[in-house]
Amino acid sequence: MRGDVVPPDRPERRHLISIADLSREDVERLLSTAASFARSLDREVKKLPTLRGRTVVTLFYESSTRTSSSFELAAKRLSADTMSIKSTGSSVDKGESLKDTAITLGAYDPDVIVIRHPQIGAPQLVASVTDAHVVNAGDGKHQHPTQALLDLYAIREELGGIEGLHVAIVGDVLHSRVARSNIQALTLMGAHVTLVGPPPLLPRGIEAMGCETSSDIDSITDADVVYVLRMQRERMEEGANYVPSLREYTARWGVTPARLRPGQKVMHPGPMNRGVEIDPVVADAADALIETQVRAGLVVRMAVLYDLLTRGPVGVDVAAAVEVA
Amino acid sequence: MLFVKDAPKQSLVVRRARVLDPVQGVDAVLDIRVDDGVIAALGERVEANGHRIVSGEGLLLAPAFVDPHVHLRTPGREDEETIATGTAAAAAGGFCAILAMPNTDPVVDSAAVLGALVDQARAEAVVAVGFLAAISRGQAGAELTEMAELADAGAAGFSDDGRPVVAPALMRRALQYSAITDRPLAPHCEEPTLSRDGQMHEGAVAAELGFAGYPSVAESLMVERDLALAAYEDRPIHLLHLSARESVNALDRAQADGVRATGEVTPHHLCLTDEAVRSLDPNLKMNPPLRSADDRAALLDGLRGGTISCVATDHAPHARHEKDVPFEAAPFGVTGLETAFAALNTHLVEPGLLPLPTLIERMTSGPARAYGLEPPRIAVGAPANLVLVDTRAGWRVTEAGFRSRSQNSWLLGAELTGRVLMTVADGRIAFER
């Protein structure tokens, strides 16, 4: 989490805008912090006093269930004050620009602003006009870094590690911020990534991110983890012809029991289109990690908020810090 | 075809500057004398005749520049630029003449709109301005404008810049009909179903950042089409703001086949690649987009070798609040008049990628010839169109330094080398630092 977008005349302020901003050490630290929080959540009283007196604002310009609720719950579990702004029913409805909304919220001196926005670059803009730490909860087709972190956490929980794993990401990579963050996160941690999908949905030049591409669904056979992307019907504008039909997509690239080996883990960022990109039998099978992912979302987002607000010098013992808190 | 505010012609002497006019074959330390706006003497030592004397010691004196591609935003968006501020910015950048594009509100598609602009230029332009008129009414791509009447009213050429002429049949009719005007057509080459919602060049950077890609073939396919039509109709054509290797190759082949085709390239396409877009700075968003390092190399080769004969700024001012948004929401376009020479001097001439005389030629007679204008030149008897430059002066680009009404420069904060000190436009000192 480098302070890349911090203007030079301000003190260093860390953000989580892209997985590209993280080092492997950053990710290790965040995952072990998340694991500490998972243990603390086993206690009867789940609330920790760690961020008492801090303010976390969530600013959502797109509909979201799991991301907005888990950020809000994560902040509350750490005793932070929270404020949730949604674009509908707010001054955004009246045509206020993102910059003006951010400046208005910034006037309350929030410690963290969590933002989801349909346009790439929105978190940078917020970071440039407020003094808050900014967490990107999804910006257009660019990045969704906490999703990738929770996916790493879930994989580590189930498989014990990430290094050396082969992960196949299947589906609409072109329109997927989840895919971009996961390619960066998985390759950063030493996994091997293959993107599988119809050629028009595999962006030209994406191999430069350090992954392979294939349009043959059989290439998921060797993978330890099959990560299924949502077919985003809302992104399939009429006449774009990325695929001839959802029926043909499902027939060619749907993840079905017949295309999986026993023991292959299956992940999905949700919400699922059952019967389109993922067969219901696969979604409900024991090898599906979809619920593990949702549970991981809470502790990983707690870890992100905690890390941004409290991290001392590099090398501090995070587990101990949590105990003290 | 060019219009400027009337003002008395001036007289002056510049002593001991490096006088460089590659077309005239002049490159020597000389004195020059301007009498009432006309170059009257050029030599080792000329008499001052009581004129004001300017020291050119250590400085470059070249023909002033011609910019074939500027958006003056007038009429309709005078909050972004006016003829007065746009020409002041041009003068500060060393330009003695500019051509304005017709994608205003209303579009310059009638003699009435053009006539009002001509009157306004005569009232407030500090350097000469020419106006292109639209190819199609409202730039809607359906019906031709009244080209003959527009030419009579002073149109310098025809373009639907900002938009492609989508229908091949309309482009063909425009080529045929414009023959009676003797003015060139200047198409904006973009195949819209391929560029679609593209935000930046389609390639590895767009793939990583998640932007919808605007592939280079969206440009080059239209370049090929327009060159084929121009060849078929045997009409001259000027290709705006080229960005892709395939486009340069197509232009080169067409020229070799005898097609009267010219092309232009912007300073930002010559200096930057799509890698720069990683910063997500909306001042790096333009149409066509910044392309790959390979495309940039082809543009530079094309400019050096002469396939591309013009540098054009595509100066596109935008209001601050329209660029203060996420990259995806920002409009296309950046300013360039006041930084063009310094940017190219810093990024191309100083590192040895482009000889200074070639740059001067591509910023003066190259663009003038493309539109059939009188090229600025340094010769006794010629109107004084001169730029005095300190090619070694370093300066920082700041918002406060612009004469333009807008500040959406891709160079904000940059350190550049080479500064325009004085611009003489048609015998008048239009700018002096």
pLDDT in tens, B141-163: 999 999 999 999 999 999 999 99
**Rounded to the nearest 5°, which phi and psi values hold at B306?**
105, -5
Comparing CA positions, the residue from B210, B343, B204 lying closest to residue B269 is: B343
Q: Which residues pair with B67 in a beta bridge?
A: B98
- C-alpha B179/C-alpha B175 separation (Å) is 7
Output the pLDDT for position A1.
45
Q: In Å, what is the CA distance from A53 to each residue of A14, A110, A309, A325, B188?
A: 19, 10, 12, 14, 57
Given this chain, do its domains A19-144+295-324 and A145-293 carry the same CATH topology? Answer: yes
- For chain A, what is the radius of gyration of the CA atoms? 20
Tokens of B115: 């006539």
Residue of A nearest to B193 (CA): A240
Please give the CATH architecture assigned to the domain spanning B12-59+390-432: Roll (2.30)
Output the pLDDT for position B223.
98
Tell me which CATH code domain A145-293 carries.
3.40.50.1370
Residue B393 Cα, gap to closest chain A Cα (Å): 26
Q: pLDDT by residue (tens digit) across B72-101?
A: 999 999 999 999 999 999 999 999 999 999
B337 burial via Cβ count (<10 Å: 0-12, 13-18, 19+): buried
Name the more confident of B59 and B197. B59
Q: For chain A, what are the domain ranges?
A: 19-144+295-324, 145-293
Tokens of B178: 């414009």
Q: Which of B199, B209, B211, B217 to mutate to probe the A interface, most A CBs <10 Å?
A: B209
Evaluate if residue A5 carries a pLDDT over 90: no
Q: By mean pLDDT, which of A74-78, A94-98, B71-75, B111-115 is the weakest?
A: A94-98
Tokens of A140: 């257009």
- C-alpha B261/C-alpha B271 separation (Å) is 24
Neighbour order of strands in the sheet with B261-265: B237-239, B261-265, B310-311
- C-alpha A102/C-alpha A118 separation (Å) is 15
Look at A120 and B211 and tell me if their CB atoms are within 8 Å.
yes
Q: pLDDT by residue (tens digit) across A161-194?
A: 999 999 999 999 999 999 999 999 999 999 999 9
Q: In Å, what is the CA distance from A133 to each residue of A20, A249, A316, B265, B316?
A: 17, 41, 20, 41, 34
Q: pLDDT by residue (tens digit) across B370-421?
A: 999 999 999 999 999 999 999 999 999 999 999 999 999 999 999 999 999 9
Mean predicted confidence (pLDDT) in B280-300: 97
Q: Which residues pair with B252 in a beta bridge?
A: none
Tokens of A314: 């590099």
Q: What's the CATH class of domain B65-375? A: alpha beta
Output the pLDDT for position B34.
98
Q: How many CB pairs under 8 A join A and B?
A: 71
Who's near B404: CB < 8 A, 6+ residues apart?
B81, B85, B86, B88, B89, B315, B317, B335, B337, B338
**Strands B38-43 vs B26-35: parallel, antiparallel or unpaired:** antiparallel
**Dihedral sign from CA coordinates of A216, A221, A223, A229:** positive
Comparing CA positions, the residue from A18, A122, A114 lying closest to residue A73 is: A114
Output the pLDDT for position A324.
35
Mean predicted confidence (pLDDT) in B220-236: 98
Residue B280 Cα, gap to closest chain A Cα (Å): 6
Q: What is the DSSP letter of B234?
A: T
Q: Which residues pair with A56 in a beta bridge?
A: A82, A112
Evaluate if residue B366 carries a pLDDT over 60: yes
| Backbone angle region of A117, left / alpha / beta, with phi > 0 → left and psi within -120 to 50 → alpha | beta
- C-alpha B145/C-alpha B165 separation (Å) is 13
Average pLDDT value for chain A:
89
Beta strands in A148-292 (DSSP E): 166-170, 192-196, 212-214, 225-228, 265-267
Output the pLDDT for position A240.
80
Q: For chain B, what are the domain ranges?
A: 12-59+390-432, 65-375
Evaluate if residue B343 carries a pLDDT over 50: yes
Chain A residues in contact with B206 by the CB 8 A cut-off are: 203, 205
Residue of B nearest to A235 (CA): B212
**Rounded to the nearest 5°, which phi and psi values hold at B174?**
-65, -40
Chain A residues in contact with B203 by the CB 8 A cut-off are: 204-205
**Which residues of B are known to be catalytic?**
314
B15 burial via Cβ count (<10 Å: 0-12, 13-18, 19+): middle
Query: What global pTM score does this model have?
Result: 0.93
Tell me which CATH code domain A19-144+295-324 carries.
3.40.50.1370
